[in-house]
Structure 1
């Protein structure tokens, strides 16, 4: 295993390249967050440190980077972790190819010639039906003429005519029109902006090692306030997560974190000077 002083020298070189730190500021008891290292940069530093010493630093090991000494110890006392392969398993037996089912042959079309017997009988029936219909029309027309003449004679004998019939009087009443009462629309009032801290998460379910985003606002703090990310596991108290962030205009904040510990974990942002914290939000890891 490498000597602690060699690891410290390499870590100081990495921090100088990534964060622009002076080598004399990289001391064993120095917190990495004091050097401006956030969760994303922490991963890059851990990966580069592992490459320089030809070892693999697991997500749990990088999660434990809080001070310079903890990062040095992760290399000196390496736990023997190796990177897992993500290649998909090869099936033991390939499925046999399926043979195409032949299409069913269409049934042969047969043509039938109509029987010629009975043609003469059908024609005779049609002629008889036609003559019967003609006679019915003639008889109906004659009855209509007779009935019309008889009705005219009756009207003439009684003295009733079209001129003597009294006119029909039709009274029309207009339906009353009603107008529905109009209800004035309620006036919109603008609510006062809330001053309580808020928090949002980009995803409530992530894979181990997958980054997710925490964002929100501490309106009363304004810009430049330091917020500490805290985590709580089932059955335990709130604990500082190795990431903090600073507020911007209006007290807004945003940071990205990741963790390889599986299970349902709660996160929040805490402001130490005012003892105020944001609401907690649960994220399922795994």
Structure 2
């Protein structure tokens, strides 16, 4: 399960975007209502928090969220609840600067869509029943049901299958690595930022080309590399660019890892605070 520190960082980012509160106001003892949330934004916050850590927060759990610490504990001590089969989370994008919309009109449209869905199911079930009764009546009227079909006799001996020869795989040659292949590059927009201030990491991973997925990793003094909850996709020529945010102070190192090859870019250092 994720650490309390990483959950608090992501929760701070979500609340800053959703209710436009100050980052330094998001402390464990603060209540969500004090930060400017209402019933709609609490649900939206819980959905986004669950999406970022790949967990499902049930309705009972969401209804019990009062403080920031409650929300952190709901993810760290997740009870294993899973989303309903017919349900689904509203997709969000971490790297998108736009704030999610939340109003009564959105909720009204969502409820209307659910009602239409169940109405279509009801109509489909009714049509299926009508067609089933009609088919039964047609069989009785034509007498097809009274036809005696001859029985199928089993063969006395089953044919012995002829084993097929397993083709011998042809040897393949391993493509040698290109010694002059350009190495990955990386740079940061600001070497020092305040807690809660956004900064950009960009660079190029030439050997990946376009459409490769890169995982952002972070390392603090005295610790190993750990996954930061952000991924980005390379563009033409292996170029990548992503926006980060963290409220944890101190000197932190960042890099991007290609999980398919387990190879990473060089690291950059950012002073937080």
- The two structures have a TM-score, normalised by structure 2, of 0.41
Larger Rg: 1
Task: Give TM-score scaled by structure 1 length.
Answer: 0.39
